[in-house]
Amino acid sequence: MWLNTGTLLSLCAISGGVVSAYQPNYRISPIDGSKIALPTKEQLQFQEKEIGVLIHFEIATYLSIDGCNNVPNLVPNPSLFDPTLINTDAWMDTITALGAKYATLVAKHNCGFTTWPSEVTFQDRENQTVSYNYTIAQSPVRGKNVVRSFVDSAQKYDIGHGFYYSVVVNNYLNVQNSDVRPNSWAPGQVNITNSTYDQIVYDQLSDLWKNYGNLTEIWFDGGYSSSQKDKIQALLEETQPQAVIFNGCDTNGTCLSENSIRWIGTEAGQAPDENWSTGVTNDGGDSTSPYFCPAECDTTLQTDDRWFFGVDQPLRSIEEMIDVYHQTVGRNCLLELDLTPDRSGLIPASYAARYKQLGDFISSCYGKPATSNAVHSSTKNGEYSITLDYPTAIDRIVLMEDQSNGQVIRSYEVFAKIVDSQDANGTLNVPFTLISNGTSVGHKKIDIFDRAISTTEIFINTTYVDTPKWRSVSLHLCDQLAANGTSTEAD
């Protein structure tokens, strides 16, 4: 993909320990005095989207390797970039079929090539004014602007749009880890100073953030340098204060934005079963943290962690992708799935079919509950019950917490009155049986049972740091494909 997030640079280390102006927003629990982190409306709106895509399409699409990562002298010739059939509306058709609600485009990756005609000029080390001549304008499709087409299509389809821009690596400008490499320049690279590089980053981000509407997500991958931080933060506050920022907080709590989103710590498409909406570490988070910072789970459709299109690269099976959904969205994590146009600029048909398969499964399984005639009730002590008119077959439960005043549920247990269909009539004294339990609920938690059951009543018990407000609880029965593709049984 991009700079391997497994080797993510610490913002604290990069920024020399400069403390952000943003401080955590929290309230005090009336029960035990603990801190309850409070979300921004933008963070809650982003969690509501549940599924998005990260579109990898630029000059690295035309390489046999997966981008310019860790190959600092590689500057692919812009003549390679020749997407003769590109149609960003077709991208949105696939995104819509998946059920994704936002899309983040890689506008510039580590090679340094920009998919919009950047018109930035700068001084090289010989004090000559030169243009940033490594863009789509230098390619065979000069005159096109992928960024503009992407934004126009996203707005047409009502898909939230955002940008990924690699700040810390730019092979064209001979930059690694935010520093220009001294005394070493390969063919195609431009010789500049660090201060010039900082200005180029600022100018290109200004272009992206000022001229393409209100962004849903801004993706920082690998951090930024101390000399860039203040100007980037000021630009963000000026131009895109509503955007959520992936990787917006360092693990020590230094945050670029109050609308920060954290990385889950893996690209496998799997969150820990205990995954909180709070905390700033690259893992399942921390229920006691004063920072509300939901997790995002980024992963690929192609096998072998391949992000850019790979010729003859196999796809992950539909069973595996269903498992990914349950272990991300079903564990309080946003799923950001890679979308990979091929060298023609289209989504390959087999890829589009797999995205649609996943979208169709999600809508068929979770589009409506298995119980249309049920009585729902909740109490002030965090209990929730569902009473059914007749024994109903289910194999999973979806729990959603109202987090508008913070995530407060700390654990839960789900009980059911299980009845055998042959003995259901006249059965009044069926005991409750524990069928699932867990800790974090957050935006959404999906528990899949070992086997389907018939039940007449569901009861949920919780522990909490303030009286919970349930957003919804729903019961579902899904097809065998779901069971084959998952192993997240109640425990």
Task: Tell me 185's DSSP state.
Answer: -
Distance CA 320, CA 297 (A): 15
Domain 5-366 falls in which CATH fold? Answer: TIM Barrel (3.20.20)
Nearest to 466 by CA among 418, 412, 421, 407: 407
- Length of the chain equals 491
Burial call 146-166: b when 16+ CB within 10 Å, e when fewer:
bbebbbbbbeebebbbbbbbb
Tokens of 408: 């407060």
Q: Judge if 5-366 and 374-484 fold alike in CATH terms.
A: no
d(CA 35, CA 43): 18
Contact present, 359 and 51 (Cβ < 8 Å):
no
pLDDT for position 428: 60
End-to-end distance of the chain based on CA atoms, in angstroms? 34
**Per-residue tokens: 114:** 């920009």
- Rounded CA separation 60/110 (Å): 9
Residue carrying the six token digits 């579109």: 55
pLDDT of residue 481: 55
The amino acid present at 201, given as its one-letter code, is: V
Q: Which of 212, 415, 244 is nearest to 336 (CA)?
A: 244
Check: CB of residue 111 under 8 Å from CB of residue 75: yes
**Average pLDDT of adjacent 10-residue blocks, the chain of 491 residues:** 34 37 91 98 98 98 97 97 98 98 98 98 93 98 98 98 96 96 90 96 98 97 83 96 94 91 97 98 97 98 98 98 98 98 98 98 96 90 95 97 98 95 59 97 97 96 97 90 42 31
Assess if CATH 1.20.1250.20 describes domain 374-484: no
Q: What pLDDT score was predicted for residue 371? A: 85
In the prediction, which pLDDT does 35 show? 98
Q: Rounded distance, CA 366 to CA 473, Å?
A: 12
Residue ranges per structural domain of the chain: 5-366, 374-484
CA count, 13 A, side-chain hemisphere, 428: 1
pLDDT, residue 3, reads 36
Residue-level pLDDT at 431: 94
- Helix axis angle, 349-366 relative to 318-328, nearest 10°? 50
Burial class (CB in 10 A: 0-12, 13-18, 19+), 235: middle
CA–CA separation, 141 vs 78, rounded Å?
Answer: 10
